Amino acid sequence: MSPRPDSPGRPAAVCMVGAFPPPVHGMSQVNAWMRDALRQRHVPVVVIDLAATGRGWRARLVRLLRVIGGLTGFLRRAAFGPLGIIYLSVSGGWGQVYDIIFVSIARICGIKPVLHHHSYAYLTTRRSLAAVLMQVAGRGATHVVLCSDMERRLRGQYNCQAATLIVSNARLVECHGEERRQRCRRSVDTIGYLGNIAEDKGIGEFLAVAANLAEAGHGMQAVVAGPFLEPRVEGWVRNAVSALDGVSYVGPTYGDAKADFFSHIDVLVFPTKYLNEAEPLAVLEGMAHGVPAIAWGRGCLMEMIADGAGLVIDVKRDFVSHATTQIQQWASASDAFALASESALRKFRERADASTHAYEQLLHMLGA
């Protein structure tokens, strides 16, 4: 990246704006991986962390204060430099108000915007805020998307004429994720749930599938992993786990604990109803271990779990009955399940490899 004229000899920094851990979720983890990749390649990085600390009015207030502080810092750096690029993780909802302000300042100051999209909330349905953001970013921006369907929707919903790069999260899992213990599964003994434990992430459907399998006498285990977001949900989930045979809760899992989780399960059940869902890391990480997934067809999941790497269920259909049937079929046909496990491993590698060039392009654009 060439130096800014107002700061001779100093390389222009990349200003990364978005959510960073903690808390750990898909967007914050990807942002952290991108930050680390740039720093490893000696690119100067300025981080403006806008992560929400939870739900409710207190979390919104904390985020507002972070945004005000972030905007103040960004204005100062934009004025005195050197900043060359703003790399912004696009919010899924009202946070796009803040995104518009950051990108507007960047455009006024001649700083190139790179927008990384992590949400389908404004791609499934056209939204006015997102339309304004696309207009403000302009044709000189670069949009980073997670799959070809996301690119198609971005162009279709907003007539986006700017450049796009398709960089699957699989590339980042491959480069920066935890150790993987790859193996082809031969039998279904344990199903798993990994993620924030909330109604819109499908914990109710997962427990219903576990109950169906227990009632059918399959003797399968079911493991729930992840943090609770609301006390109300925590109460009824813990009661349900206590009441169901073979179901256990192991708490939040990161690092080696997450690798242990994937090494002990055979199928990931992912009944997400989350409107922002795009290319979930939990599914990719499971596939990287050889764990096929059963998921509702949201976001990029139809591309991810293709070619026999699991089962995608139409969002208009009953998830619990279809997932239960598929697990029972795999349990009674080990060869078919082994093929699904092999397909999950292969599909993960294909997605990671397909994004290698685009990922390097992105890093080069950011100054690496």
Q: Is 13-166 assigned to CATH 3.40.50.11930?
A: yes
Amino acid at 225: A
Indicate if the pLDDT at residue 6 is higher than 50. Answer: no
Tell me the whole-structure pTM to 2 decimals: 0.92
Indicate if the pLDDT at residue 368 is higher than 60. Answer: yes
What DSSP state is assigned to residue 21? S
Q: 346-365: buried (b, 16+ CB within 10 Å) or exposed (e) per residue?
A: ebbeebbebbeebbebbbeb
Residue 159: how many CB atoms within 10 A of its CB? Answer: 10
Domain residue limits, the chain: 13-166, 190-351
Q: How confident is the model at residue 128 (pLDDT cuts 50, 70, 90)?
A: very high
Q: What average pLDDT does the segment 330-355 reach? A: 95
Least confident of 49-53, 139-143, 189-193, 286-290: 49-53
pLDDT in tens, 303-314: 999 899 999 999
Q: Which two tokens stand for residue 214?
A: 């227990």
pLDDT in tens, 265-286: 999 999 999 999 999 999 999 9
Q: Which two tokens stand for residue 59?
A: 């979390």
Q: What average pLDDT does the segment 71-93 reach? A: 90
Burial class (CB in 10 A: 0-12, 13-18, 19+), 125: exposed
Cα-based distances in Å from 15 to 45, 245, 303, 342, 358: 6, 50, 31, 40, 20
Domains 13-166 and 190-351 share a fold: yes
Give me the CATH topology for the region 190-351.
Rossmann fold (3.40.50)
pLDDT mean across residues, the chain: 92
